[in-house]
Chain A
Amino acid sequence: MQATPPFAIDAQRLSKSFPPSTASSTESEISLFADLNLQINKGESVAIIGPSGTGKSTLLSLLACLDTPSSGSVTLTGVDLNSLAAEEKAQWRAKNISFVFQSFHLLPELNALENTQLPLDIQGRKDSAEQAEHWLESVGLGLRTTHFPAQLSGGEQQRVAIARAFVTQPSILFADEPTGNLDTNTGEKIIELLFDFSAKTQATLVLITHDEHLACRCDRTFKLADGKLVETNL
């Protein structure tokens, strides 16, 4: 019998709660969500939507193993990251997870090429410059590798961020409102790139967005509201 390949992301009975705001408060802990289950297959694209303040970004940080849940577990491609030592966990994340943020988060003093090669430099890869150049060409910025963020438009900056996300050829890509700072047209192009590259590299894409139209492009959509995560059909 063939073994079932592990999920890209497998979250079981995930809960997150916070202590009350003041130490003297008699309130009990504030629960953001409880007992969430989520399984995402390899290569799948999943959108998580929901109103502001429901904990979408917190959920993303738990799924990406950036934060530890109050209870429950997360495994990524079958690996329980929280059981690894800090150094190993960082190494695993560097190789397998990438992010695209709403505010691009490029370092202003580094040019496009240096920003793109940063994750490979963290891993100590010697081919970082060549790889970064290749991915910048792929996002259409082959001629602007030496430009600094301030010399690039918002759309171009996000393209550099996408090149930086894919340069490590991650198995999972988390995108948190990737078009939030862009106009509709530019946003469309960015989304095209994101889905295109995810498909080509067979990366699992987890997209957090307000935009239902954008969510529709994903294989599945989940809505986070009132502490519950529900799969919806848009």
Chain B
Amino acid sequence: MKSLIKSPTWHLAAKQIRSQWRTSAWLTLMLSLFMMTTLVTLLTTTSDRLYQSLTEQSADIIGADLVLRSQNPIAAQKLEYLAQNNIAASTVTQFISMAETDNSSVLSTIRAVSSPYPLRGKLITDPKSHPDTPDKNTVWADSSLLSRLDLKLGDKLFIGYSEFTISHILVESPDRGRGFSNFNPQIIMRADALAATGIIAPGSRANYRLLVRADSTQVVDLENLWKPTLERGQRLINASDDSQLGRNSVANASRYLKLSALLSLLLGAVAILLSLQRYSSDQRMRSALLLSLGMTPKQLFQTYCLQLFFGWVTAALLGTLVGLGLHQLIASQIGAYLPHFSSLNILSIITSPLLSLAIIFILGLPTLLPLGQVSILQMLRNERNATTSRQHYFSCALLLLAAISLYMGSLVLAAGITALLLILGWISGFIAQRIIAVIVLKLQGKISLAPLLKLRLRQQRHWHKLQAGVFSLLLAIMAVLFFVRNDLIEQWQGQLPKDSPNHFAINIQPWEKPRLDTWMQEQQINADLYPIIRGRISQVNEQPVTQVLNQEQARTRALRRDINLTWREALSDSNQIIFGQWDANVPGISIEQELSENLGLSVGDTLTLTVAAQSITAPITSIRRVNWGSFRPNFFLIYTPGLLDDLPSTYITSFNIDAQQKEQSNALVKAFPTITLIDIDKLFKQAQDIITKLADSASVVMFLTLLSGALMLLTILQQELAQRRYEGALLQTLGASQSQTKRLDLLEFCLLGITCGTIAAVIAELLLAMMNGYFFDIPVRAHPLLWISLPIIATMTFTGVGNIVRSTMSLPQCYRLIKGG
């Protein structure tokens, strides 16, 4: 190493980098490398962290080696069995409820835990030292709860009928559970303090978990023992099992980020390859000179490799730093919404610079190697153009694919996506070129520049295909991301008519109902209380569902879990009978239309419902269409009075409180502490906030990707810059004016921009229609903004980049250029 630093090649490389850093070929190479490293660092670290955060199934995250999750309280025998076998276990009851102070209340996710807790992983609090579980009459709470209720450590809050002191702030804890309830502030309380709160009663919604700490053999034994006896709504989660990761939406987001990284890598690789080729071509004369002065081809190659290495160190270091900075920015936006945001891991930080090192050398070595073989005679002949063989491109492409596969962790995925992008890009490029040709043909005879434009397009057709292909695709992808977000938000907002209920009250215990009815009447709140019973459909026409229904029908989600049911005298407005009749005096069931279709049921069939070991059989007397978006309590099955009255139930209702009367909701929580009040407006705002923040983060990625695309355009334009300058000079020498050549360039770029933008709009509109129609169930509609904005953005980018590259030449300069050959 020491001898290398002292070698003449080291010094020459260092000098070359100092003298050449402002040459456009070197500068574009470094810029491309910097952009690629920045984007890939940002995307890799964010994707990696997201993936780790929400899909990590390690014992540290779930707080145990094995977890039994259930919708109903877990049988005492299981705990006894574990105690007999000296296996550590603890129970968790998780539910959502209101945490209140005298002035306000916040919907919180509460865990009532037994000691020891947790069994695996670390629970970090502030202050640091804490007992196994909160002391009597104390709770531990997220700092967000404290800030929302304007509390500090030592202050008191109410949960249900009990008062607690906040003894610790929860900094980090395993076993936070899953789903949207994660977004609520979290509270941990002792299991034995739960009963006094009065929140959990038969029929209340809660999630019960049994955490187990055991060695791997015991875990397998327990799984074998418990799996066959799992009840409906129960699941066993093994810390080492990651089979369910695939369906996680965050895993999808993480995958999306990785695919964006792939796009950036491909864009970067094209830009790097083109700038390297131009750089290498510019260096041929210098190489011939150095060789003529006695440098060996090996030394020459070494010099350029070193220069490339120095360049990489600078660009990759800067790129990594900027990428990490942007990542922190995004992390600060979305981190607060994730239940557990894992720390950055070193591998994800070094992936991007290592990948850029691999790419620059994979593409650089074959490009620079021929410099050693440059003929000294070239100096006499003044030949400049180097030819690059197809073999060279092929070997570059293969090596590049290998590097990208390594990054993506799958050759099939990398090759598949690359091939898809290449094919789509090629098709877009081809179509763009054809459209431009047709337009120019139509322009013949109409504008004076048309013949020259036609010739220009013929000259530039290969570059146009590349530019248009890459750019149309890039714009289309970005437009889809942007408009999908808008469509989703707009649809949500559109769903909420002004007077629709904006509050749900759940967990209303039967003994509270009469008092609540009175309270509502006093407050002039129009609310209808529905009894809610959780049960499952066990038989159809008095045969077990597995025997009567086919496989597809049996997979219906409503059969695999307990569903909410109710009984009513009369149906509400959001229900419309489409078959049969609703008569409160004739015992029967009204079934929701889609469920009846999925199960192949019609009026006259009987359903048997199992609720807490009781079975109730009744005929279907009507089929209803339900407006699920009405924000009223809606049910798959509604029974006539008399059938379910004796079963344990809670009540649910929804009502509208306008913004000026928000104190009513506080008064309600105060008067009925065990009721859980859900503020829909707040939930929507929160969801919208998350979407907006995610979209903002995606916008950073989009902007950088667009910048990479613009950089690639710049590289392509610079690639043929000499050719363009020469052509401009010749045209001016032959009688064209400066403004004529300028207009010609402008016309070319505008045409390219408008065509690319329009093609991108077509692709984006088709993709949006597919996504909205199939995935989001949003009515398919046209997006006029897309048709206007994309051609404008594309035209501005093309003309902007074109203007950076093009330079006006005076006539004497033109003549000198022509004379110089």
Binding site for B on A (CB under 8 A): 57, 61, 65-68, 86-87, 89-91, 93-95, 97-99, 101, 103, 105, 107, 109-110, 114, 117-119, 121-124, 126, 128, 164, 168, 176
A61-B815, A67-B815, A101-B818 as given contacts; A93 in contact with B455, CB under 8 Å: no
Contact of B734 among A61, A86, A119 (CB under 8 A): A119
A123 contacts B735, C-beta separation under 8 Å: yes
Task: Report chain A residues within 8 Å CB of B458.
Answer: 109-110, 114
B818 contacts A110, C-beta separation under 8 Å: no
Complex formed: what's the CA distance from A106 to B178 in Å?
70
A66-B733, A91-B735, A176-B819 as given contacts; A122 in contact with B740, CB under 8 Å: yes
Chain B interface helix/strand/loop/mixed = helix
B739 contacts A86, C-beta separation under 8 Å: yes
The 10 nearest A-B residue pairs measured at CB: A94-B735, A90-B737, A124-B448, A121-B451, A67-B812, A109-B459, A66-B811, A122-B736, A66-B815, A119-B734
Which residue on chain B has the smallest CB distance to residue A115?
Answer: B455
A66-B814, A107-B730 as given contacts; A126 in contact with B735, CB under 8 Å: no
Q: A65-B811, A107-B459 are in contact. List 8 more A-B contacts (CB 8 A).
A: A66-B811, A66-B812, A89-B737, A94-B734, A110-B458, A121-B455, A122-B734, A124-B449
Write 9 A-B pairs (CB below 8 A) sorted by A numbering: A57-B815, A90-B732, A90-B735, A90-B736, A90-B738, A101-B818, A122-B734, A123-B735, A176-B819
Which residue on chain A has the smallest CB distance to residue B820?
Answer: A103
Which residue on chain A has the smallest CB distance to residue B444?
Answer: A126
A122 contacts B812, C-beta separation under 8 Å: no
A99-B734, A118-B734 as given contacts; A90 in contact with B815, CB under 8 Å: no
Quick one: CB contact mask for B720-736 with A, threshold 8 Å, 1 for yes? 00000001001111111
Complex formed: what's the CA distance from A98 to B738 in Å?
17
B733 contacts A121, C-beta separation under 8 Å: no
A99 contacts B740, C-beta separation under 8 Å: no
Complex formed: what's the CA distance from A103 to B381 in Å?
13
Complex formed: what's the CA distance from A91 to B739 in Å?
12
- Shortest beta-carbon distance from A122 to chain B in Å: 5
B821 in the interface (beta carbon within 8 A): yes
A103 contacts B737, C-beta separation under 8 Å: no
B179 in the interface (beta carbon within 8 A): no
Interface residues on B, range: 20 to 34
- Shortest beta-carbon distance from A172 to chain B in Å: 12
B735 contacts A119, C-beta separation under 8 Å: yes
Complex formed: what's the CA distance from A118 to B449 in Å?
11
Contact of A93 among B452, B735, B738 (CB under 8 A): B735
- Shortest beta-carbon distance from A207 to chain B in Å: 16
Contact of A122 among B735, B811, B815 (CB under 8 A): B735
B738 contacts A86, C-beta separation under 8 Å: yes
B514 in the interface (beta carbon within 8 A): no
- Shortest beta-carbon distance from A65 to chain B in Å: 8
B736 contacts A110, C-beta separation under 8 Å: no
B228 in the interface (beta carbon within 8 A): no
A61-B815, A90-B740, A103-B821 as given contacts; A122 in contact with B730, CB under 8 Å: no
Complex formed: what's the CA distance from A98 to B818 in Å?
14
B445 in the interface (beta carbon within 8 A): yes
Task: Report chain A residues within 8 Å CB of B727.
Answer: 107
Complex formed: what's the CA distance from A87 to B732 in Å?
11
Task: Report chain B residues within 8 Å CB of A109.
Answer: 458-459
- Shortest beta-carbon distance from A121 to chain B in Å: 4
B740 contacts A121, C-beta separation under 8 Å: no
Residue from A86, A117, A118 with most neighbouring chain B CB atoms (10 Å):
A118
Give B656-699 interface residues, CB cut-off 8 Å to A.
none
Contact of A118 among B445, B455, B739 (CB under 8 A): B455
B818 contacts A86, C-beta separation under 8 Å: no
Task: Report chain A residues within 8 Å CB of B732.
Answer: 90
B815 contacts A126, C-beta separation under 8 Å: no
Give B803-821 interface residues, CB cut-off 8 Å to A.
811-812, 814-815, 818-819, 821
